[in-house]
A = this chain, B = another copy of it.
């Protein structure tokens, strides 16, 4: 079977194969390559090159490669880590994808328009025995959640709003915990996270009755004393998406939550008529919902996105927030997440260390 749309979801153990060639194409908007940039940052060891058209295009600082060069260097999958205006696939993009398939690469895409809906790509994948991964496809046979207690430790990032840094915080936690020798695995719930991790569940595409069941399947019991670090979505205070956040909290059965927040945001994303919630209300509401399935859930820290502040302002707001909430507070990108991991070890012990620190 050459065309495995959604296959990574239906059988979580089928992963998008590494190493990756990251597609930038002719993109000139730095915001539009956010996903490729995230992969280059958090899967640097798996990102062996970038594919770029022309001289004035963007770069991630990776070796520039043709599809044939990438395949010769061992690349297995071309990642379309770009946003496409209008939701359609341009002729250039389809031409490039066909050439990549012919060069022996699989293709993984988080774009709205599905690869499987492009007859030329389906034909090329069949011809070459290659796979097409549309990571926005949710499985059609997800289970209904059961809320049964399961073994292992789980941490969920939550937020005051959408797009406040939940994915980035979760990835920084994974990296820093692994550096301390703690077994820790990022569990992706959004398109970008799935492309970074190589597997996951696109929660916003799951049918409503299966939200918590999808997360139970994504993050099953584990018995190695390690942690599943689950990427949060939305906010309990966002009137468009709180249902997703609620089902995610229940399915995650989190031992602890990390609360993400942008202290400079004027109102809820896309909704000028909705004020941002207080951090204290956000902590209380998330713990209340989490405790239906995880009665002892605790707050483990606050992650602030201070990218629009000076370093001094950022340090100041972290200090004030830590005082107000009594929780370790940091900007993961600017200051790391060590204090939060310290608190995890205080709350849950160091028993989850399964090998000597590698850093």
Q: Contact residues of A with B, CB < 8 Å?
A: 144-149, 203-209, 211-213, 236-237, 239-248, 250-251, 271, 273-274, 285, 288-289, 292-293
Could you tell me the distance in whole angstroms from the C-beta of A13 to the nearest C-beta in chain B? 24
Could you tell me the distance in whole angstroms from the C-beta of A24 to the nearest C-beta in chain B? 28
A209: nearest chain-B partner, CB-CB: B204
Contact residues in B for A207 (Cβ distance below 8 Å) = 204-208
| 7 A-B pairs with C-beta separation under 8 A | A147-B273, A206-B207, A209-B244, A212-B239, A212-B241, A212-B242, A240-B250
Contact residues in B for A292 (Cβ distance below 8 Å) = 237, 239, 242
Which among B145, B240, B246, B251 is the interface contact of A146 at CB below 8 angstroms?
B240
CB pair B247–A243 under 8 Å, yes or no, is yes
Given known A208-B207, A274-B147, contact A243–B244 (CB-CB < 8 A):
yes
A274: nearest chain-B partner, CB-CB: B147
Contact residues in B for A203 (Cβ distance below 8 Å) = 208
Contact residues in B for A145 (Cβ distance below 8 Å) = 239-241
CA distance A213 to B274 in the complex (A): 16
A292: nearest chain-B partner, CB-CB: B239
Q: Which 3 A-B pairs have the closest CB atoms?
A: A243-B247, A147-B239, A246-B246
CA distance A293 to B237 in the complex (A): 10
CA distance A146 to B274 in the complex (A): 10
Residue from the set A237, A241, A245 with the largest chain B CB neighbour count within 10 Å: A241
CA distance A285 to B284 in the complex (A): 13
Contact residues in B for A212 (Cβ distance below 8 Å) = 239-243
Contact residues in B for A206 (Cβ distance below 8 Å) = 207-208
Contact residues in B for A211 (Cβ distance below 8 Å) = 208, 243-244
Residue from the set A243, A245, A246, A293 with the largest chain B CB neighbour count within 10 Å: A243
CA distance A206 to B148 in the complex (A): 25
Contact residues in B for A247 (Cβ distance below 8 Å) = 208, 242-244, 246
